[in-house]
Structure 1
């Protein structure tokens, strides 16, 4: 249950707790909150636990330069750290960071790992049941693994053929496509969730975690089938915030382990990553001729430049571009075959 927000007092004393509360009141997603807190803590430790209000532009520049020159961080990582420190100083402490000058990271952003259609079919052939359905959704709907595992029963809308993705990047709700090939399997999965939930209720359990605002607004919703996770954990466990024994969703490590086993069994020599199926979703849509704007909306990217990276990994063979070496076979065939009516001298 490590994706459940830590409880913070309404009048926190500790600096990082006050910062957490400010982030929640600002509507930041929990993943963003955790990432920012992580880097802000590292910034404080790097400067020997000096209070951020006693530091400023020189210390921020020193830390960002250290990450680039000494830690060889990527461009993306340095940008995340910069965003975290800008939030800390500009939005929380209300101090200016104008005129920052630091060494820019040079390690470029790596191209995403993409599986071919044949490789995905081979991976799926080594999966079954709910494990297979999870990977099919990662690929078929372009979901991030965290959003896949946090899906509730009510987020599958068969009537509109949509999957609702709650509190995505930017803490915004969005929809993505519901693959028609998975409708029957999804209905069966929901039936399994209903049976498991009924057993939990019969044994005196049956509650599921809800964010604070929802838990207050709908106090009985935590025991309703609609709010149960689509892919529940195999065991009950105590909530880290309240101690209430609940059934949470499957842990990300279990999903990652299933994918690693399937990729190895398929004999594929590429990194075994859940996110690679999302990359494959976008790349294969681009190869099929869908425009970037459509793919951007399906992925939930706020900036189309993020989506444009898939243009660098698209299979150009499917786009009508032929490599020069592929034409050599035709030339060799013409050399080997004599012209009609021509007789070789003996």
Structure 2
């Protein structure tokens, strides 16, 4: 395996295999390819993870030396030994297919009798309106506002955290989600009850931004190459995060300081505490707010195509999972024991 050398990053006590000094490293080529095609950073991290696990599973062999049988064996191992979910196994498969097609330059054929993790059909966890009220009652400040926006608009967690000032149109009562899942933009409503709280929150954020500017900073990270195209835009108010970090980050080498958007774990932990304080036994997370948004819209009689657009689903079949509310199931049929 002359093309693989050892690298400084460690995983499971071993060093990451990469290509030799004669060319770009394998994982660097993978990341460069993903960025060229505008895949998200999370996809980049996930694909790199699965490629490394695939290589280690086969004794640190180069992927060019392997093909369908080795991929089959790895996927089967994940399903049988690892007992991973179907979505996890599919993610690993997508990562390997991408590696072979775009990095190695070889199409992969049939996999034979690969053991697939069976994808269970599960209904999403949904909170009732009363449960939503109780949970939100245990949140305060910007955490209450973030959770309220997620329930009131159907935003995903990261879509909420990545909102910029210019994405909120108070006159049109609209919120624009930029570069959502799948790299798509979409619009959703700005709830009337949240318009005033959002404006009051932005006044505080603007004051903090002006203080940062007075200290010589106040720059927000810009998407892709816009920072180079518009070098002064990062300090403009419209590009600032709606939910910035409480403390500025600092580059110890350059001395630069700035603010990123709030970390997702902050709201996740606060929401989990709120669910526990509310005494709920449902396994609710921040994403449950999005499920509840869609379910309650359908309960109110809105058509599924409208809900699909608001959620940003590419296929209406994804949205169809929320139609379980239209079939009352056991709630619509009296039990025979009730007539005894």
Q: How many residues align?
A: 318
Q: Provide the residue aligned with 2:198 in structure 1.
A: 186
2:34 to 20, 23, 45: 23
Q: Provide the residue aligned with 1:56 in structure 2.
A: 67
The answer as to 2:227 corresponding to 1:219 is: no
The answer as to 2:129 corresponding to 1:117 is: yes
Contact 2:87 2:119 in 1 (8 A): no
**TM-score normalised by length of structure 1:** 0.85
The answer as to 2:99 corresponding to 1:91 is: no
The answer as to 2:57 corresponding to 1:46 is: yes
Q: Provide the residue aligned with 2:333 in structure 1.
A: 323
Q: What residue ranges of structure 1 are gaps of 5+ in the alignment? A: 1-10, 333-346
1:197 to 201, 205, 209: 209
Q: Which has the larger radius of gyration?
A: 1
Contact 2:29 2:103 in 1 (8 A): no
Counterpart-to-counterpart distance in 1, 2:155 and 2:30 = 30
Higher RCO (C-alpha under 8 Å, 6+ residues apart):
1
Contact 2:307 2:319 in 1 (8 A): yes
2:175 to 159, 163, 166: 163
Cα RMSD between the aligned structures?
Answer: 2.4
1:140 to 130, 144, 152: 152
The runs of 4+ residues in structure 1 deviating greater than 6 Å are 240-243
Deviation per residue, 1:162-202 (Å, 9 max, x gap):
21111111112222221121111111111111101011111
Shift of 1:21: 0.9
The answer as to 2:233 corresponding to 1:231 is: no
Q: What residue ranges of structure 2 are gaps of 5+ in the alignment? A: 1-21
Shift of 1:322: 2.0
Deviation per residue, 1:48-105 (Å, 9 max, x gap):
2222122111111111111111111222222222211111112332212121221111
Q: Provide the residue aligned with 1:8 in structure 2.
A: none
Counterpart-to-counterpart distance in 2, 1:79 and 1:268 = 32
Deviation per residue, 1:194-236 (Å, 9 max, x gap):
1010111112221111134110111111111111110111101
Contact 2:186 2:312 in 1 (8 A): yes
**TM-score normalised by length of structure 2:** 0.87
Q: Provide the residue aligned with 1:153 in structure 2.
A: 165
Greater shift, 158-167 or 214-223, is seen at: 158-167
1:71 counterpart SS class: coil
Contact 2:166 2:238 in 1 (8 A): yes
